[in-house]
Amino acid sequence: MKVLGVNAVFHDPAAALVIDGVTVAAAEEERFSRRKHGKSPVPFSTWELPEQAMAWCLSHAGIAPADLDAVAYSYDPELAPQPDGDITASEWEGLRTLYARRAPLFLQTVLPGLDPDRVRWVPHHVAHAASATFPSGFDPCAVLVLDGRGERASHLAGRFEDGRFTPLAAQVLPHSLGLLYEELTAHLGFRRSSDEYKVMAMASYGRPAFLAELRDLVRTDGAGGFSVAPVDLAAFAPALAPDAEFTARHADLACSVQRRLEEVLLDLALWLHASTGLRDLVMAGGVALNCVANSRIWAEGPFERVWVQPASGDSGTALGAALHVAAELGDAVGPMPTAALGRGWDDDALAARLARAGIPFEAPADLPGAVAEVLASDGVVAWFQGRSEFGPRALGHRSLLADPRRAENLEKLNDIKGREQFRPVAPMVLAERAAEVFCDGPIPSPFMLFTHRVRPGWAERIPAVVHVDGTARIQTVDRREEPLVAAMLEAFAARTGVPVVVNTSLNTAGRPMVDDPRDALECFGSAPVDALAIGRFLVRRPAAAAPVADAGAMTATESIGTPGRREPRGAEAA
Ligand SMILES: [Fe+2]
């Protein structure tokens, strides 16, 4: 069966193609449109479809819309609030439902030849659940989905066995842990539905000073659900304007909400374990991108194994919806060994792109060694290899790499990316040496969804990747799955004795992750990156001319990791 999954309703529009139970392609629209998160999550944008991502998935597989057995749409308008009265006036929710209901016709318009009767609705949280159950390879397993909202709920818990999902609990709106975290994100001057991970980073600078109050406001109900009373965030700390400096109170508020979130998730996990008696847990939904909370569930929760979908945000519902429908149609759906499900180019195509750009490049016999040499000489390398990642994490396919031994590389990378200096960058580490450097987290951890503590003796050796709380969000690299990345790490370890390299996503300020070679060349041309490793080629930056004084120069005088520090004046918000 050929099933195209589509996420279009809220944010992070995406498409995924599953053929005979195998995920052959998955991509987010932002990587094509270059518009971060694809679109605004407002009701009147619901008609917008991930047109380029859908078209690419089909062309990648060499099939036409008429060949599709089903299109799985990750939202069921019949479960949502129904249009009532003048939906263009004050209450716009009905507009979302109306547009979602019309999706088959919209899809037919952009996918000529598609039979609109082949479109199937998949409830939003069922799609999230399927994005974790089938890909995990765990069967049976318990399932926990938490996000801002779906049709009428913000949470779904259940059991998965023999390829079938059975719901056990769902929390209806307005109670939503995801929306509370989004409110806090906006309150702290960040972008809602986008910058929640900045709040998580800020929380590390605070104390849980308001935890007692939050325990009163946010409660579990003992039946697998929870309640969130209206929270007056301003009573704890005043709202921050974008780019304003945060105070200790703001960090304390971030810390308190983060801690309460962790406690509630642990409670929900305990209930789910007691209800199912199962050994393994899988998670998805935007809240499952909170790697600090995931780590507490792993360390303190009742489950033996915890698997989190790397595309846990709404883009992952395109994949989940497709997998769910493929299983319904009778296909045996297999696990997901990699997140590298996006576009890729072969070396001939890359060489042609480089030649067309008129850029000198070399083809080193030992590319991993040449890259390790640049890194060990304190260079920053843009690393563009294989197919792009599905989901928000760079996992060694579209990455910026640097030497973790130099603390100043944190500031350097945050400046390249126009990010706040309080935000950490993450390490990738050879899987077989991960336990030597990191502890208190699952190993292997190939998708960067958990935090680990950096072992004593190593923190001072790799200061660029150690967050203020002594943790790091690691990616373990297995040479069987990622031979080229592993070879680069080995070459770096051979030169430095350190099996760890800084890995952050390949993008500049406010831009989606680089996806195609032109994006890579634009990024390389516009940012102080020393080399671009693209396919088997290496592009080196010519010896720099004298730097031009500009606003960015002020960053050199500021210290790393100072609470309250934002990006330099003139830089775009990340
Ligand atoms: Fe969602």
Sequential DSSP letters for 35-96: -TTSS--SGGGTT---HHHHHHHHHHHT--GGG-SEEEES--GGGSPPP-S-TTSS--HHHH
In whole angstroms, how far apart are CA 103 and each of 6, 63, 71, 159, 295? 10, 21, 11, 30, 38
Among residues 15, 106, 127, the alpha carbon closest in space to that of 60 is found at 15
- Asked if 44 and 92 touch (Cβ cutoff 8 Å), the reply is yes
Q: How far is the CA of 266 from the centre of ligand 1 (A)?
A: 20
Q: How far is the CA of 127 from the centre of ligand 1 (A)?
A: 9
Q: How far is the CA of 178 from the centre of ligand 1 (A)?
A: 9
Alpha helices in 102-227 (DSSP H): 103-110, 124-136, 177-187, 196-203, 211-217
Q: How far is the CA of 344 from the centre of ligand 1 (A)?
A: 27
Q: How far is the CA of 11 from the centre of ligand 1 (A)?
A: 9
Task: Please state, in angstroms and rounded to a whole number, the distance separating the CA atoms of residues 72 and 323.
Answer: 9
Q: How far is the CA of 567 from the centre of ligand 1 (A)?
A: 30
Task: Please state, in angstroms and rounded to a whole number, the distance separating the CA atoms of residues 574 and 567.
Answer: 9
Q: How far is the CA of 570 from the centre of ligand 1 (A)?
A: 33
Q: How far is the CA of 243 from the centre of ligand 1 (A)?
A: 28
pLDDT in tens, 218-238: 999 999 999 999 999 999 999
Q: How far is the CA of 56 from the centre of ligand 1 (A)?
A: 23
Q: How far is the CA of 464 from the centre of ligand 1 (A)?
A: 33
Tell me if residue 425 falls in helix, strand or coil. Answer: coil
Q: How far is the CA of 74 from the centre of ligand 1 (A)?
A: 9
- Asked if 243 and 189 touch (Cβ cutoff 8 Å), the reply is yes
Please count the residues of the chain. Answer: 574
- Dig out the tokens for 217 from the structure: 């406001």
Per-10-residue mean pLDDT of the chain, 574 residues long, equals 97 97 97 90 88 98 98 97 78 88 96 97 98 97 96 97 96 95 93 86 93 96 96 94 90 96 97 98 96 96 97 97 98 93 97 94 97 96 97 95 94 84 89 96 95 95 93 96 97 98 91 95 92 97 58 34 35 30
Query: What residues contact residue 529 under an 8 Å CB cut-off, 6+ apart?
Result: 380, 381, 382, 400, 416, 523, 541
Give the model's pLDDT for residue 567: 36
Q: How far is the CA of 432 from the centre of ligand 1 (A)?
A: 35
- Dig out the tokens for 537 from the structure: 């080629």
Report CA 48 to chain centroid distance, whole Å: 21
Q: How far is the CA of 147 from the centre of ligand 1 (A)?
A: 5
Give the burial class of 10: count Cβ atoms within 10 A of its Cβ; 0-12 exposed, 13-18 middle, 19 or more buried: buried
Task: Please state, in angstroms and rounded to a whole number, the distance separating the CA atoms of residues 160 and 509.
Answer: 40
11 is catalytic: yes
Give the burial class of 328: count Cβ atoms within 10 A of its Cβ; 0-12 exposed, 13-18 middle, 19 or more buried: middle
* Side-chain-side CA neighbours of residue 554 (13 Å): 9
Q: How far is the CA of 75 from the centre of ligand 1 (A)?
A: 9
- Dig out the tokens for 360 from the structure: 């000198």
Annotated active-site residue in 11, 37, 187, 397 = 11
Q: How far is the CA of 353 from the centre of ligand 1 (A)?
A: 37
**Average pLDDT of every residue of the chain:** 91
Give the model's pLDDT for residue 191: 87
For CA atoms 513, 518, 523, 526, the dihedral sign is negative
β-pairing verdict for 2-7 and 119-121: unpaired
DSSP 362: B
Q: How far is the CA of 254 from the centre of ligand 1 (A)?
A: 22
* Side-chain-side CA neighbours of residue 230 (13 Å): 3
- Asked if 419 and 496 touch (Cβ cutoff 8 Å), the reply is no
Among residues 489, 562, 458, the alpha carbon closest in space to that of 202 is found at 562
> What strands lie across the sheet with 164-172, from one edge to the other?
164-172, 153-161, 141-146, 280-284, 305-308
